[in-house]
Amino acid sequence: MPRSTTPQTLSREITISGHGLHGNRPCSVRLVPVAEPTGILFVHTPTGTAIPARADLAGDLVLATTLVKDGVRLQTVEHLLSALMGLEVEHLRIEVDAEELPILDGSAAPWVEAILQAGVKGLEGRRRFMKITQPIEVRNGDRWIRALPYDGLRLRYVIDFPIPALGRQSRELSLTPDKYRRELGAARTFCLAQEIDMMRARGLALGGSLDNAVVFGADGPLNESLRYEDEAVRHKMLDLVGDLALLGAPLLGLVEAHAAGHALHVALAQAILAAPSCWEWTEEAEPANVRFFFQPAGLTAAAQPA
Ligand SMILES: [Zn+2]
């Protein structure tokens, strides 16, 4: 699947139902194609409230990304947003009949499958990218995230947990729809077994189970198996892709994150939007390809970084 140069929506409607991870309530989500580029717009159907996927509407960011407008909350939007951004479907109306999106299997894979089954449709016009031209960074103690100039979108993520079962994991990749689907989309959300009581006391993870999350105990995952050896850092990258949707347009840059999470991901999106001197609009998705065309003979695509 080559990277798209036109704005994209879905070819047809999709409805998916399930339960929320934190509130454990039923929720049905209807993905409705749009006729022209509008960005991603959520609609909370019980109240009719329209909530654009925008960083200035981000609310509570503890263990999930929540959008808030006119007193209406939409929790855990990040995995659906991640699947859409990963597959470059950036224009869609999303009707939701509850305040938390379904967790499904804890990854973006069920959304990805549904999107691919429905098919993607190009809209009039050109896709516009926010291209980072100056480094921009947000820090919180030892945790940080930054965006640097880069031709394309590249993600580099490091996590470091003080339990041996998780420990330090790092991964880096240049994002394309194929790589998203193969390398990030199926990575499930995770937590530490020791955190579960604390989360439940705060009314979080009430719908969590080994069917929709990886739980790491002192000796390893309590689940039967992992989908990837480093599933945890891949899920963090999946979350990052979803949270960057709140920029409102696809990003071109190298995003490096160290022990970050939703709060820092969204803070970076907010910082980028607040610093227009650090980026510019462009319609050129991959100028790196132009350079590749002029590279000396013998250097194949396999010689390019992943
Ligand atoms: Zn997540």
Q: Is 123 a member of any domain?
A: yes
3-state secondary structure the chain: CCCCCCCEEECCCEEEEEEECCCCCEEEEEEECCCCCCCEEEEECCCCEEEECCHHHECCCCCCCCEEECCEEEECCHHHHHHHHHCCCCCEEEEECCCECECCCCCCHHHHHHHHHHCEEECCCCCCEEEECCCEEEEECCEEEEEECCCCEEEEEEEECCCCCCCEEEEEEECCHHHHHHHHCCCCCEEEHHHHHHHHHCCCCCCCCCCCCEEEECCEECCCCCCCCCHHHHHHHHHHHHHHHHHCCCEEEEEEEECCCHHHHHHHHHHHHHCHHHEEEECCCCHHHHHHHCCCCCCCHHHCCC
Q: How many CB atoms lie within 10 A of CB 36?
A: 10
pLDDT at 300: 43
CA of 291 to the centre of ligand 1 (A): 35
pTM: 0.92
Q: Is 276 a member of any domain?
A: yes
Question: How far is Cα 245 from Cα 266, in angstroms, rounded to an integer?
Answer: 9
Whether the per-residue pLDDT at 282 is higher than 60: the answer is yes
Whether the per-residue pLDDT at 302 is higher than 60: the answer is no
* Number of domains making up the chain: 1
CA of 63 to the centre of ligand 1 (A): 8
pLDDT tens-digit profile of 62-111? 888 999 999 999 999 999 999 999 999 999 999 999 999 999 999 999 99
Distances (CA, A) of 167 to 109, 117, 160, 170, 230: 25, 37, 5, 10, 10
pLDDT at 2: 54
Whether the per-residue pLDDT at 156 is higher than 90: the answer is yes
Q: Is 58 a member of any domain?
A: yes
Q: Look up the domain containing 68 and give its range.
A: 8-284
Predicted confidence band of residue 270 (pLDDT cuts 50, 70, 90):
very high
pLDDT at 252: 96
pLDDT at 294: 44
Q: Is 294 a member of any domain?
A: no
Question: How far is Cα 38 from Cα 89, in angstroms, rounded to an integer?
Answer: 11
Predicted confidence band of residue 287 (pLDDT cuts 50, 70, 90):
low
Average pLDDT, the chain: 91
Residue 81 sits in a domain whose CATH number is: 3.30.1700.10
Q: Is 244 a member of any domain?
A: yes
CA of 26 to the centre of ligand 1 (A): 19
Span 201-227, average pLDDT: 91
CA of 16 to the centre of ligand 1 (A): 18
262 is catalytic: yes
Given 44, 79, 235, 262, which residue is catalytic?
262
Q: Is 45 a member of any domain?
A: yes
CA of 189 to the centre of ligand 1 (A): 5
Is residue 186 within 8 Å of 109, Cβ to Cβ?
yes
CA of 234 to the centre of ligand 1 (A): 10
Q: Is 142 a member of any domain?
A: yes
Q: Is 298 a member of any domain?
A: no
pLDDT tens-digit profile of 217-264? 988 999 999 999 999 999 999 999 999 999 999 999 999 999 999 999
Predicted confidence band of residue 286 (pLDDT cuts 50, 70, 90):
low
